Structure 1
């Protein structure tokens, strides 16, 4: 069964949320693939991860060291680093995300309509477990509407 977590970005940027999420994943001994179609966003994510407390090592997909990267950042899902988790940072769902154990769809007000459509579509699939996360006014993530 695949798990899909929907992260509604109401306060933090995708880059800030990913620093927290990647930190938790790496702390649990897991690897992550981060996907965005936007090259500027991929660069911003990489910088934010390197600047995070204790820094979170990462690399751009397509390099010689893909397999060694704890966080791999690219424009399409792929598990060249043996990642179990994929984070879709640009709010665009890709069906290949279901090939991972866990998919994180980060979306904001600009991509909320697509996220809602995706929620409904994935609800029709028996082997998908969905979770919705939102931020409270202090920036803490909580599950549920």
Structure 2
């Protein structure tokens, strides 16, 4: 049974935090789906990931190609097709309690400078913890990532 990790981005933008988290997920041996709510935004993230530093190269692809199942990181607005151990939700993309329980980890990244994104993340926290999912809330307010809240599984 997995857990949902909420990342409240206040000091670094998504394009800085996402590669760090993707690297950690790949080090754990997980295939990853990055789920977004907007195809153009996913195209933008795809471009940002390709432009990363050589030492931090993250092999990935956009969903809809012939090799989706082989992608270690798959960017999609859907469920994905690479048998992920981890889903990273960006820009308010939906996550179901069944996914949290079936996967190793679900990461929900949200912009702490956007009140609508914060409200949406609060709703996701309530829905997932209300369904009995384990969850952690991480913030970078102090400059480094710190866990601020934890909900045990039901």
Same fold (TM over 0.5): yes
Shift of 1:137: 4.3
**Number of residues paired by the alignment?**
142
Once the two structures are superposed, the pairs formed by residues 1-145 of structure 1 within 5 Å of their partners are 1-53=1-53, 54=55, 55-78=57-80, 80-95=81-96, 97-98=99-100, 99-108=102-111, 109=114, 110-126=116-132, 128-138=133-143, 140-144=144-148
Deviation string for 1:46-91 (max 9, x for gaps)? 222223332101100111111111100011123x112100001112
- TM-score w.r.t. length of structure 1: 0.87
Gaps in structure 2 of 5+ consecutive residues: 150-154
Deviation string for 1:6-64 (max 9, x for gaps)? 11111222222110000111122211100112223212222222233321011001111
- What is the rounded CA distance, in whole Å, between the counterparts of 2:38 and 2:30 in structure 1? 25
CA contact 1:16–1:48 (8 Å) conserved in 2: no
CA RMSD of aligned residues (A): 1.8
Shift of 1:100: 2.6
Q: 1:37 to 1:121 in 2, by over 3 A?
A: closer
Gaps in structure 1 of 5+ consecutive residues: none
- What is the rounded CA distance, in whole Å, between the counterparts of 1:33 and 1:69 in structure 2? 9
